[in-house]
């Protein structure tokens, strides 16, 4: 049994409504902030793209990569933990999840926001950056803290985004092959017109 949103996506796919499907992806990327349980765990212990070490993050921030701006913004907020043991004292289950998800656990640096209070509250809540206001993003590399209110919705949305992406890929391949067939069937007389 599919949910209402999946039925809507299936109807758009059946109608070949590429524009609305693109808008749907955009919508699925924004998770409702009402899912946040306001525990501050993602501010207390975070990784960047799951695997990056501190030196890799700094190098990315100084590069002209498309993620350089995100890396710079992250560095203005977050500072690295000095040891994995220090992180394990704060969020042992999250560390386990990260280490299970990455190929080289020894490379990962964990970070803490400079503005999170002891009780998990954001000390610059009214002025927090856009990244904090829209975090987290559904993505294969997003690792949620155990018990995070976004996890279920984020995972569901990521599956839907992948479903639409696979549909786009399949339809583009079909359309390409239809164009090729039309090109091949053109008679010399038609191609002169």
- DSSP at 79: E
CA end-to-end distance (rounded Å), the chain: 52
Q: Which is nearer to ligand SF4, 18 or 137 (CB)?
A: 137
Q: Which is nearer to ligand SF4, 79 or 180 (CB)?
A: 79
Q: Which stretch binds ligand SF4 (CB under 6 A): 30-38, 93-101, 124-132, 158-166?
A: 124-132
Least distance to ligand SF4, CB of residue 56, Å: 20
Token output for 126:
């009214």
Q: Please state the φ and ψ torsions of residue 172, each to the nearest 5 degrees.
A: -65, -40
Q: Tell whether residue 113 is a contact of ligand SF4 (CB under 6 A).
A: yes
Strands 78-80 and 111-113: antiparallel
Q: Which stretch binds ligand SF4 (CB under 6 A): 1-9, 21-29, 111-119, 155-163?
A: 111-119
Q: Which is nearer to ligand SF4, 98 or 116 (CB)?
A: 116
For 181, residues 6+ apart whose C-beta sits below 8 A from its C-beta are none
For 62, residues 6+ apart whose C-beta sits below 8 A from its C-beta are 68
Q: Tell whether residue 49 is a contact of ligand SF4 (CB under 6 A).
A: no
Q: Which is nearer to ligand SF4, 84 or 132 (CB)?
A: 132
Rule CB under 6 A: choose which of 49, 128, 153, 171 binds ligand SF4.
128
- Return d(Cα 49, Cα 140) in angstroms, integer: 10
Token output for 86:
């220090």
Least distance to ligand SF4, CB of residue 109, Å: 16
Tell me the β-bridge partners of 78.
113
Tell me which residues touch ligand SF4 (CB under 6 A). 43, 77, 113, 115-116, 122, 124, 128, 132
């Amino acid at each position: 049994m599919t949910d209402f949103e999946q039925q809507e996506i299936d109807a758009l796919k059946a109608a070949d409504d590429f524009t609305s499907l693109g808008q749907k992806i955009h919508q699925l990327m924004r998770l409702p902030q009402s899912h946040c349980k306001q525990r501050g765990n993602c501010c207390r212990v975070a990784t960047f793209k799951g695997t990056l070490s501190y030196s890799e993050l700094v190098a990315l921030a100084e590069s002209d990569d498309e993620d350089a701006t995100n890396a710079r913004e992250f560095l203005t907020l977050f500072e690295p933990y000095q040891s994995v043991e220090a992180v394990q004292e704060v969020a042992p289950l999250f560390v386990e999840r990260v280490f299970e998800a990455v190929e080289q656990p020894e490379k990962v640096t964990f970070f803490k926001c400079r503005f999170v209070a002891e009780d998990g509250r954001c000390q610059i809540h009214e002025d927090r950056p856009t990244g904090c206001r829209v975090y987290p993003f559904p993505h294969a590399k997003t690792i949620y803290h155990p018990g995070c209110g976004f996890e279920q919705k984020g995972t569901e949305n990521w599956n839907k985004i992948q479903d639409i992406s696979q549909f786009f890929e399949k339809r583009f391949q079909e359309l390409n092959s239809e164009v090729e067939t039309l090109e091949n069937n053109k008679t010399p007389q038609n191609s002169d017109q």
